[in-house]
Amino acid sequence: MWYKRRMRERSAARSMSPRRTVAPRRRQKLVALHHQVYLTLRNELIRGHYVGEDGRVASALPAENDLAAEFKVSRVTVRRALAALEQEGLVVRRHGAGTFPAPLAAHLRRARDVESLYDDLNELMGSYEREVLAFGRTKTPAFVRNQVEDFGADCVYLSVLSKDGDAPVHLNFQYVPGRYAQLLEPLPRGDGRLLLLLLLQDEGVRSSTIDLNISSTAADLATSTRLDVQVGMPLIAMRRISRDATGAPLEYFEALTRPDRFSYSFRFGDRSR
């Protein structure tokens, strides 16, 4: 029948449609298109891609037409995704002006020694096999500049997939201001850590303060491909912003982790003992 043929054609077209920052992979049939768009935008909103470091809105989301073209879907699909975000309280839609992120609630903060974090990172990175997905000098993404003042127009970018054998565990994205490029390029061969913050430490550049945020997010098409999970699966999301003694930024770091293969544990003790 003609309608069955058309459905097959639409299904084939969808499977070959490119997605932003997504490795080639067919669309997952169990997740509706509008929900896939919703998950991707929700992840970006929660991770602060449209919000400045002070919590104020930095920019509006792209227009509906632009989102539809970017995701290769219809405007109706985009509207359904935006409506779900609005219902969840993550965006505010202003007639004639656009769609804007709603300010995120402030998180509880606790102080922790910087040296203990360096120790944790060294121990963690020594226990996995790592695959470099991307490395090089590039323009600093807008969401990084919005959240970290004076980060600079260009940066060194590194993305690494950490595996336990053949099982993916962590997917991280690292950004370091371009002024440190000479200390990091080329990426040292055979360095098992593959963390720019630790490589800067080797060159005598140390962090004085580190803001660490751990929350949760849902896997979108890009992360589900790399971490081998279904779209919508809960993931641990970590964001780290490091600064030197003068307050200048050293690093912006994001990591997405499979909760079935990793957990964060903390021990708190009395400093006086």
* pLDDT reported for residue 54: 53
Burial of 268 (0-12, 13-18, 19+ CB in 10 A): exposed
Is the residue at 268 inside a domain?
A: no
**Is the pLDDT at 156 greater than 60, yes or no?**
yes
Give the alpha-carbon dihedral of 148, 153, 154, 155, to 10 degrees: -10
* Amino acid in position 143: F
Is the residue at 265 inside a domain?
A: no
Do 122 and 219 have their domain in common? yes
* pLDDT reported for residue 9: 44
Tally Cβ neighbours within 10 Å of residue 185: 12
What is the mean predicted confidence (pLDDT) over 105-115? 43
Residues 6 or more apart whose CB falls under 8 angstroms from that of 171 comprise: 159, 160, 161, 162, 223, 226, 227, 255, 256, 257
45 pLDDT band, cuts 50/70/90, is: confident
Chosen domain end from 101, 131, 159: 101
Is the residue at 78 inside a domain?
A: yes
- For residue 222, what are its two tokens? 């890009």
* Amino acid in position 68: A
- Rounded to 5 degrees, what angle do the CA atoms 227, 8, 31 make? 35
Per-residue model confidence as pLDDT tens digits over 186-235: 765 545 556 787 778 778 888 888 888 889 999 998 899 999 998 899 99
Q: What is the CATH number of the domain that holds 19?
A: 1.10.10.10
Judged by average pLDDT, the poorest of 81-90, 183-192, 255-264 is 183-192
Longest CA–CA separation in the chain, Å: 78
Radius of gyration of the chain, Cα coordinates, nearest whole angstrom: 20
User: E strand or H helix at 11, and its extent?
Assistant: helix 2-16
Most confident stretch, 26-40, 95-109, 157-171, 180-194: 157-171
> 260: which DSSP letter?
T
**Is the pLDDT at 127 greater than 50, yes or no?**
yes
Do 123 and 229 have their domain in common? yes
* pLDDT reported for residue 74: 93
Number of residues that this document lists for the chain: 273
- Asked if residues 225 and 22 have their Cβ atoms less than 8 Å apart, the reply is yes
**Is the pLDDT at 124 greater than 70, yes or no?**
no
3 state SS of 138: strand
**What's this model's pTM, rounded to 2 decimal places?**
0.61
Per-residue model confidence as pLDDT tens digits over 50-83: 765 555 555 788 999 999 999 999 999 999 999 9
Report the chain's mean pLDDT, rounded to a whole number. 77
3 state SS of 141: coil
Per-residue model confidence as pLDDT tens digits over 17-27: 334 433 334 44
Range of the structural domain that residue 22 is part of: 2-101
Is the residue at 194 inside a domain?
A: yes
Is the residue at 108 inside a domain?
A: no
Do 217 and 130 have their domain in common? yes
- For residue 52, what are its two tokens? 């400045």
Do 250 and 176 have their domain in common? yes
Of residues 90 and 241, more confidently modeled: 241
Please state, in angstroms and as integers, the Cα–Cα distance from residue 26 to each residue in 16, 55, 169, 234, 258, following that order: 7, 36, 22, 20, 21
Is the residue at 263 inside a domain?
A: no
Rounded percentage of the chain residues whose pLDDT exceeds 90: 30
* pLDDT reported for residue 208: 84
- For residue 37, what are its two tokens? 């768009």
* pLDDT reported for residue 4: 42
Total count of domains within the chain: 2
* pLDDT reported for residue 155: 93
